[in-house]
Amino acid sequence: MLSNFEQIKEAYESRDLAALDKLAIPTHRTINRRGDFKSALMLSCNNLAHLMKIDSLEADCIVLNLEDGVSKEEKPFGLVLCAIFLSHHKRCDKKLIVRVNALDDGGFEEITYLNQFMPDAIRVPKIREAKEVETVYELLDEKIELHLSIETNEAWKNLSSLRVNKKVTTFYLGVLDLFADMKLPQSLIKRDNPTLLYILSHFLVTCRVVGVRPVSFVYQEFKKLDEFKEWLYLEKKMGYDAKGCVSPTQAKIVNEVFADDKKEILRAKNIIKLFELKREEGITGFEDEEFGFIDEPIYKGALALLNSNDNEHPFSI
């Protein structure tokens, strides 16, 4: 519990922005650099009750949302509450990410303000081209990661060029906005639709190639948990291991479905050990009774699997 929670609550409920702003005190935070997160749970920054639950939520990431779902009148209050809760969580086992508004709709000002409160990452929506990303990179504190929402025609066209710096670590697929911008009906967002499958595949492969973490789209029907699981099974089969969420139950299911396969990890470790022993003998291709033929591509695949389970930015190159 925040020691000054009652003051925060009173200032917020009385709509006293000046009083609330005085409670937002910049403080040194220990940046959470984990890159192996699976569930990214969206919380509206203007919902005080939800913000109070950050510690107890079963999610790897908390996306403190200032954009969609927060009215224009509420955004200034949400921004200050976001700063207060960042200051309160000087060290957090969950990655705390702030989704600001579009750059031309207050995003630049929000980033400037939030720099002093040191979120683990800033997520920028409606991004279009590398030049925009570069302007954010120049503005953002060097310790803070930069995450991008891919939800416009231009972003899709420029997808492979948006990682302008190693600070850019994560892309989120905003499929509803993307379909709207492409003038595609949302009725196409079905697991067996070839257009949707192409978008998921292209997004995943491009992210892997450029070295960022791909996070699959938010499934809005949060009460349809069986359908949500079917999406996760499909996405896991495709190679995804992270998804946006809108409820704690969704986050819990994501963590369960995308849990690391211990057998696969053990297999990769054994392959690496065997290959490196044989390589010392000058042999880089051989047959193993348990694992079959092992050569350098198989070895590199095993290394990549272990690397993807590292905590700190497994996709950075």
pLDDT tens digits for 143-198?
999 999 999 999 999 999 999 999 999 999 999 999 999 999 999 999 999 999 99
142 and 119 co-located in one domain? yes
Total tally of structural domains belonging to the chain: 2
Q: What is the pLDDT of residue 314?
A: 46
What CATH number corresponds to the domain at position 173? 3.20.20.60
Q: What is the pLDDT of residue 317?
A: 32
- Which pLDDT band holds residue 4 (cuts at 50, 70, 90)? confident
On whether residue 312 sits in a domain, the answer given is no
On whether residue 316 sits in a domain, the answer given is no
- The tens digit of pLDDT for each residue in 46-75 reads 999 999 999 999 999 999 999 988 999 999
194 and 291 co-located in one domain? no
On whether residue 36 sits in a domain, the answer given is yes
130 and 210 co-located in one domain? yes
276 and 230 co-located in one domain? no
Q: What is the pLDDT of residue 35?
A: 86
50 and 182 co-located in one domain? yes
On whether residue 28 sits in a domain, the answer given is yes
- The tens digit of pLDDT for each residue in 203-234 reads 999 999 999 999 999 999 999 999 999 999 99
62 is in which domain, residue-wise?
5-257
Helices 75-88, 107-114: crossing angle, 10 deg rounding = 20
pLDDT over 70 percentage in the chain: 95
